[in-house]
Amino acid sequence: EGGLYLVATPIGAARDITLRALDVLNGADVLAAEDTRVLRHLMEIHGIPLRGRRVLAYHDHNGERARPALLAALAQGASVAYASDAGTPLVADPGYRLALDAAEAGARVHALPGPSAALAALSLSGLPSDRFLFLGFPPSTATARQTWLRRWLAVDSTLILFESPRRVNRTLDDLCQIDPNRLTVVARELTKKFEEVIRGPAIELAADPRIPTLKGEVVMVLDRPTPAAPDADRVRDLLRAKMDRMSV
Ligand code: SAM
């Protein structure tokens, strides 16, 4: 069936791809990717032949130029599969204008759900997942980042942000200026060999020896501002522990 297929691809482990994604990559009339080599490599790993199909490049720098050809193919009823380098297209990745223009031109737009670094980090973070806000990358300059953090840290929601491993340090320092006790999770290299999750109040993470030498890809997940009121069970446990200490 014709239409635009937004294909989620692995964020590390190559086998994190859905059967439907493989079907669509196998059957699409037109293949497009943020990085054509990355998609060709993924198809090769899963034994999907190109069968004469070219993989067209579609990324932030050529979107304007590359879109017309893809929209023309959609207008002719072709199926177009689009994948970004990793994870879900459009999520801090290219594809938004393509999906918008395709929808406005009357083409069907299909999402092929799959890996997403933001949701993978949220799900293992142990932080509340009933309400969350995905913030993308923080600004890189100091003043812009502080203003940005101050604004979003006030929101009553779990916060998910992408950060370069070299900047986690600085972001934690900025966070400490505003809310040193904010429970923070640094999740790196998810689904990969060196997957690691570091968890604690911002002030503790800022002093953690692993943070300055962090490598790989990182997602930070921050708790909401006010910790939930302790539930009755927890209050009882705390009281009991205190009484035990007093009785020794
Ligand atoms: N569209 C992608 C997704 O849905 O996962 C995100 C693309 S964004 C350009 C790349 C950022 O995602 C990285 O800088 C990092 O913050 C995060 N990321 C991607 N893969 C990751 C992984 N395996 N572990 C931790 N973070 C990852």
Q: What pLDDT was estimated at residue 239? A: 76
Whether 219 is in the pocket of ligand 1, judged by its Cβ within 6 Å, is yes
For residue 231, what pLDDT is reported? Answer: 64
**Does residue 83 line the site of ligand 1, with CB under 6 A?**
no
- pLDDT for res 47: 98
Predicted pLDDT at 134: 98
ipTM exceeds 0.90, yes or no: yes
The verdict on the CB of residue 11 being under 6 Å from ligand 1 is yes
162 close to 219: Cβ distance less than 8 angstroms: yes
From residue 56, how far is each of 32, 37, 42, 44, 216 by CA, in Å? Answer: 4, 10, 15, 16, 28
Q: Are 177 and 147 in contact, with CB atoms under 8 Å apart?
A: no
- Residue nearest atom 3 in ligand 1 by C-alpha distance: 87
Q: How far is the CA of 22 from the centre of ligand 1 (A)?
A: 21
pTM of the model: 0.90
pLDDT of res. 243 = 80
Contact 129, 223 (CB under 8 A): no
Residue 16 Cβ inside 6 Å of ligand 1? The answer reads no
Query: How much is the pLDDT for 228?
Result: 53
Give residue 227's pLDDT. Answer: 56
Torsion on CA atoms 24, 25, 29, 30, rounded to nearest 10: 130
Ligand 1 centre to CA of 121 (Å) is: 10
Could you tell me the distance, in angstroms and rounded to a whole number, from the CA of residue 162 to the centre of ligand 1? 7
Distance 100 CA to ligand 1 centre (A): 23
Per-run averaged pLDDT (10 residues), the chain, 248 residues: 97 98 98 98 98 96 97 98 98 98 98 98 98 97 96 98 97 97 98 98 97 97 78 72 77
